[in-house]
Amino acid sequence: MSRIHFLLIWLSLLILSCSAERLEISLRKPPYQCLEGCYDALSLVTFGDIKAKKPTIKDQCNSTSFVSSLALCSSNYCSSKQQIDGWKYITSECEGSKIDLQPQGEVLLSIDTSEVPSTSIFGKKKTVNGTILLDQRSFDAGYRTVNSQWQRLAYSHAFGFAVYLFLIVIVLIGLCNRLLCLMVNRNLPDSPEDPDVPRSTRSPTIWSRGYTWWRKNVTMPALFGYRHSQPWGWVSIPTRMQSILIFSFIAINIIFTCVGYDLFDDNTEDTNDKQAQLLDQLQYRTGVMCVYNLPLLWLLAGRNDVILWITGWSYSSVNLWHRYIARLAVIQAFIHGVVYSIDKRDSLAERFFHRMYWGTGVFALICFIFLVVFSIKPIRTRWYEIFLVTHIALAVCSLVLLYFHLTHMKGKFDPYVYACGAVWGLDRLIRLLRIVVLTYKALSSKGKNTIAVMSNDDSGLIRLSITTSIRIIPKPGHYYFLYHPFSIKPWENHPFTVASWEINDDSTTLHFLVAPQKGATKKWRKRVSKTPERSDNIRLLIEGPYGHSNPVERYENLLLVAGGSGITSMLAYIHTMKYHRQDLRDVVTKKVTLVWVVKNLHYAMDVIQNELKEFVDTSNGIKGISVNIQLHLTKDTDSTTTTLAGSPAMSRDNSKSTGSSPNTLSSPTMFAEKVYQDEETKEPGEKPSGALTIHYGRPEMHYLVDTALSRLVGGERLAVSACGPAAMIDDMRKAVCELYGSEEGKVDGRTLEYFEELFSW
């Protein structure tokens, strides 16, 4: 099923669940409002021919005095059109109580206006017999009260709906940003053949200046400081672009919560008590705004999210949105609850035990608060599975409670609750479809589709080769969620980036590198390490693909920077260039520099001896593309210090490297010795098509990019792609931002592009 189909299903479901007739989104005042004003004020008058203490519409329609007073009030204060519409309205209301009302003209004819007293609804109340004419103040009070009630409803819905419109604007901005990046990447100028043309002679165009400014100041840097991938305390700081969008969304919500209240003396509901009026209107407004925000919240939580497809934003960006909207919605729900409690403080206990909306509302709010509290970064990262299970359970509970909370609104808000359920259900359905389509054969009794191998106990690395049930063409940057269907927790799934693949006749074998952590991956590791050959045949289901592929092949020079298990992502790019070049558009890449910063030497050497072997080996690199691999070892363990004791001194500025080492590390160093090239001593033309250099200590990101830029010739461009720990990613983003500019020594967005991939959200 193509994305466009998903999109259509999404939209139609959303439109269906929000069927317009059920939504009260209109800023047009009802035509009968003038008569309603009369009705409201007259309802406060005690008529002698109405016996009931709390008269119903039926009692009023049956009362000759009430009806004639209504007709007189309408003819006195309303325009002819308002009178016609108003009388139609009251006639149909009376019809509902099986009472036929005379036309207004006939009623008026029966009134002797000279006998009619002018009456006020204020002051001492007394019973009136016969027709009365409301005085101006009484009519105004009734009319304004009706108007403010209408406003309370209409504004809340209109503001809630405006939030959706604003979201559409945000998505369009995201789409434009995506198109801009695509245009820049597609229309890259061909690099001049003459390598003697220095890079600095390329004059920036107005477009390239604008794009550079946009990247440097808006889309890349964090809102403040430089931490974006790393948490700031318990929260993540969005980039400036994300901040503009997120905070303007929040600002719109705050503005819409604060404006449009008509508080006045003489309100027939809360006479002269403006505080009571405010409490009533505020609780309603915040409640409605919260309900409007919920479908967005649920939409942004999904993996199969239409916003994600349109804007091309990463799941982690959309997830950041989800978190901020969630906080906003919880604050709105909290204000709604607190304000309502203050407003109804005299009857709290009675409401709690006897009204369903009250108890369900309280518990829904508690669920909301727990949802946000249990989602803070430390809990999310330390106990991901616990977080996930409680998050889903609380979210479902809160939605069910909300449904019952809203029953007293007579279905007015049900479409929003259904919309939440629809987006959630659809996301789950698409996930299931993806799993079934990709790995349905694994569900049969002979369906073991995965070979899990651990070639080196010390590295701990597990290689998973999963054969899909159909033939697919993966792309670098794609990741899949892996499920172990016959485990204790079959629902548990973890994302892994495809490192390489083989396309068979009717299937595809995807290769993943898994660096085991402390949860499910540790169990996988235990299981494989128990087998004598360190190889196990298992059954895994996969769901995907997710993620985006970056057009790095459109750049002559690539700087791929990986930290730890982030190497997987980079392997996929070089693998595609070597084996699936036909799937890429116009490959112009001439040189790839892969910088891998890694703590575990054994892990590093395991990958170098396997996945990177052919690139390290000078004769088997990528045809026409030189590949240089810089391994940066960062762990100062005893073994590392000892084994590398004989190595030449390493300076921390990365300008020197070594390839020699003692026998204890014979395998790793065999590679290093064989292919070691000191880049500083070689002319560009002499370089082999593959090389490995080993460095000690962390490389400085600014230095890496600056060095790569200094090696560009002519009109060559550089794409930097980074995947690794949050701190490294933040450093790299900062380095690229610093290097963007039009001054001496800086480069523009045509020459340098940055792509980022994260293994966390």
Ligand X SMILES: Cc1cc2nc3c(=O)[nH]c(=O)nc-3n(C[C@H](O)[C@H](O)[C@H](O)COP(=O)(O)OP(=O)(O)OC[C@H]3O[C@@H](n4cnc5c(N)ncnc54)[C@H](O)[C@@H]3O)c2cc1C
Place of tokens 């590398």: 644
Minimum CB–partner distance for residue 317 and ligand X (Å): 12
Instruction: Please identify, using beta-carbon distances, which residue of 187 and 455 lies nearer to ligand X.
Output: 455
Nearer to ligand X, 521 or 529 (CB): 521
**At closest approach, how far in Å is the CB of 604 from ligand X?**
14
Minimum CB distance to ligand X smaller for 17 or for 375: 375
At a CB cut-off of 8 Å and minimum separation 6, what does 394 contact? Answer: 367, 370, 371, 374
Judged by CB, which is closer to ligand X: 86, or 566?
566
Kindly state the smallest distance separating residue 387's Cβ from ligand X, in Å.
8
Q: Are 293 and 332 in contact (CB under 8 A)?
A: yes
Complex with ligand X: residue 513 or 705, whichever CB lies closer: 513
Nearer to ligand X, 569 or 661 (CB): 569
Shortest gap between Cβ of 606 and ligand X (angstroms)?
Answer: 13
Please name the residue that has the structure tokens 């909301």.
368
Minimum Å distance from CB 547 to ligand X?
6
Residue 398 CB-density burial (10 A; 0-12 exposed, 13-18 middle, 19+ buried): buried
Which CB sits closer to ligand X, 186 or 522? 522
Among left, alpha and beta (phi > 0; psi -120 to 50; other), residue 312 is left
What are the backbone dihedrals phi and psi of residue 500, each rounded to the nearest 5 degrees, phi first?
-160, 175
Between CA 40 and CA 269, with CA 95 as vertex, the angle to 5 degrees is: 15
Q: Cα torsion at 47, 53, 54, 57 (round to 10°)?
A: -50
Structure token pair of residue 22: 């059920």
**Residue closer to ligand X, measured from CB, 438 or 515:** 515
Q: State phi, psi for 584 to the nearest 5 degrees.
A: -100, 150
* Packing angle of the helix pair 274-301, 136-186 (nearest 10 deg): 20
- Residue 162 CB, shortest distance to ligand X, in Å, is 34
Q: Which residues contact 236 (CB under 8 A, 6 or more apart)?
A: 228, 229, 320, 323, 377
**Which CB sits closer to ligand X, 65 or 304?**
304
Distance (Å) of CA 738 to CA 215, 364, 746, 756: 11, 47, 8, 16
CB of 586 to ligand X, least distance (A): 27
Binding site for ligand X (CB under 6 A): 380-381, 384, 479, 494-497, 512-515, 517-522, 565, 568, 759-761
Closest to 625 in 3D by CA, of 560, 578, 580, 672: 578
The 3-class SS string of 189-223 reads CCCCCCCCCCHHHCCCCHHHHHHHHHHHHHHCCEC
79 burial type by CB count under 10 A (0-12 exposed, 13-18 middle, 19+ buried): exposed
**Residue whose CB is less far from ligand X, 691 or 729:** 729
Cβ-based nearer residue to ligand X, 17 or 600: 600
For the bound state, the minimum distance from the C-beta of residue 527 to ligand X, rounded and expressed in Å, comes to 13
User: In angstroms, what is the minimal distance from the CB of 552 to ligand X?
Assistant: 18
Q: Which residue of the chain is nearest ligand X when measured via CB?
A: 519
Of 256 and 315, the one with the shorter C-beta distance to ligand X is 315
Q: Is 69 exposed, middle or buried (0-12, 13-18, 19+ CB in 10 A)?
A: buried
Give the H/E segment covering residue 394.
helix 384-405
- Closer Cβ to ligand X, 516 or 715, answer by number: 516
- Say if residue 495 is preceded by a cis peptide, omega within 30 of 0: no
> What angle is formed at CA 192 by the lines to CA 191 and CA 197, rounded to 5 degrees?
120
Nearer to ligand X by C-beta: 6 or 384?
A: 384
* Angle between helix 601-609 and helix 666-675 axes, rounded to 10 deg: 60
The nearest distance, CB 492 to ligand X, in angstroms, is: 7
Closest distance to ligand X from the beta carbon of 497 (Å): 4
Burial class (CB in 10 A: 0-12, 13-18, 19+), 250: middle
Under 8 Å between Cβ of 608 and 674: no
Q: Among all chains, which residue has been given the structure tokens 């002979």?
A: 446
User: 351-390 burial, b for 16+ CB within 10 Å, e for fewer?
Assistant: beeeeebbbbbbbbbebbbbbbeebebebbeeebeebeeb
Closest separation in Å from C-beta 192 to ligand X: 38
Give least dist CB 54 to ligand X, A.
Answer: 58
Q: Which is nearer to ligand X, 173 or 389 (CB)?
A: 389
The H or E element spanning position 544 is strand 541-546
Going by C-alpha positions, the residue among 572, 554, 575 that lies closest to residue 562 is 572
Q: Which residue, 92 or 517, has its beta carbon nearer to ligand X? A: 517
Tokens of 689: 């098509």
Rounded Cα distance, 478 and 500, in Å: 10
Least gap, CB of 599 to ligand X (angstroms): 14
Please say which residue, 472 or 562, places its beta carbon nearer to ligand X: 562
Q: How far is the CB of 154 from ligand X (least distance, A)?
A: 43
The identity of residue 90, as a single letter, is: I
Q: At closest approach, how far in Å is the CB of 725 from ligand X?
A: 11
CB of 520 to ligand X, least distance (A): 4
